[in-house]
Amino acid sequence: MDGTRPAGDELLKIAVEVARQAAETARRMRADGVSGVTTKSTATDVVTAADRAVEREAVATLRAARPGDAVLGEEYGGADGTGPTGGAGVRWILDPIDGTVNYLYGLPHYAVSLAAEVDGEVVAGVVRNAVTGDEWTAIRGGGAYRAGQRLRSSTETDLGKALVATGFGYDPARRAHQAGVLAELIPHIRDIRRFGVASIDLCLAAEGSVDAYYEKGLNLWDHAAGGLIATESGLLVDGLAGAGPGPDLVIAAPPALFGPLHDHLDRLDAAGGP
Ligand code: LIP
């Protein structure tokens, strides 16, 4: 690499090409049936042959396009993702199949999520539903888009009327804590949605299909691309007390709802528990 900081649109172009190819591989493999199912952190945290194959293919394509970059991928990428990022300081953050449980059951709601980070800041991201082809993109400072339409998040100002998406981790003790938080939150909001794909949840919030989203326990590959898309649509994306979005908590909400939602989640210890 020549050390020049690459432009967000240049990285997004690569990201979109890779995500489209990866999504097609995932869709095609699902049509042939699910294979190679094993478990990761718990008995309900599954990984399939497709998760691994899609990641291998996407990493190979990224390497061919930009040989000096690092790649952090959900299935193989830990060590590699912390490795050298070449002169341009680029790291790709990939979830080959976000929503693996939906993939397992054949629910048409799983995605490829790919973000490009430069010097530690996510500058471009794409989330693509592998079944429907719905695709959300963003470049930092350049807005978020779906099918050529600029995304505008919800303008709801009353938390009591907010439709809020969330998700649950795979560890039973964590789920119990998360369910307890939800039981206390739900009287204060319109209703809850649980789609099973964190990256798409963030994109649905970005386009105003839900008003807000929160979840504890996300990994970077779950929220890197969707978080940028949400931010670029006008949402505030953060953790508790300005900690930044991360494994403790990710909250994405319109400015008027962020404070009230944040304060409920803080009071309910949403970032706590196992
Ligand atoms: C999953 C999500 C889901 C979330 C889970 C998990 P996976 O990702 O996107 O919505 O609630 O905690 O992170 O395991 O399907 O890639």
Average pLDDT over residues 155-160: 98
Tell me, using a 6 A CB cutoff, whether residue 73 lines ligand 1: no
Residue 84, pLDDT > 80, answer no
The pLDDT confidence band at residue 45, using thresholds 50, 70 and 90, is confident
**Known catalytic residue: 69?**
no
Q: Which domains, ranges and CATH numbers included, belong to the chain?
A: 8-133 (3.30.540.10), 159-267 (3.40.190.80)
- Residue 98 annotated as part of some ligand binding site: yes
Catalytic residue among 14, 93, 97, 189: 97
The pLDDT confidence band at residue 3, using thresholds 50, 70 and 90, is low
Q: Considering only CA atoms, which of 10, 88, 108, 99 is closest in space to residue 54?
A: 99
Q: What confidence tens digit (pLDDT) does each residue in 181-193 have?
A: 999 999 999 999 9
Catalytic residue among 74, 156, 207, 232: 74
Report the pLDDT value the prediction gives residue 85, as an integer from 0 to 100: 59
The pTM score is: 0.95
**Known catalytic residue: 98?**
yes
Tell me, using a 6 A CB cutoff, whether residue 226 lines ligand 1: no
Catalytic residue among 69, 222, 232, 238: 222
**Known catalytic residue: 200?**
no
Residue 47, pLDDT > 50, answer yes
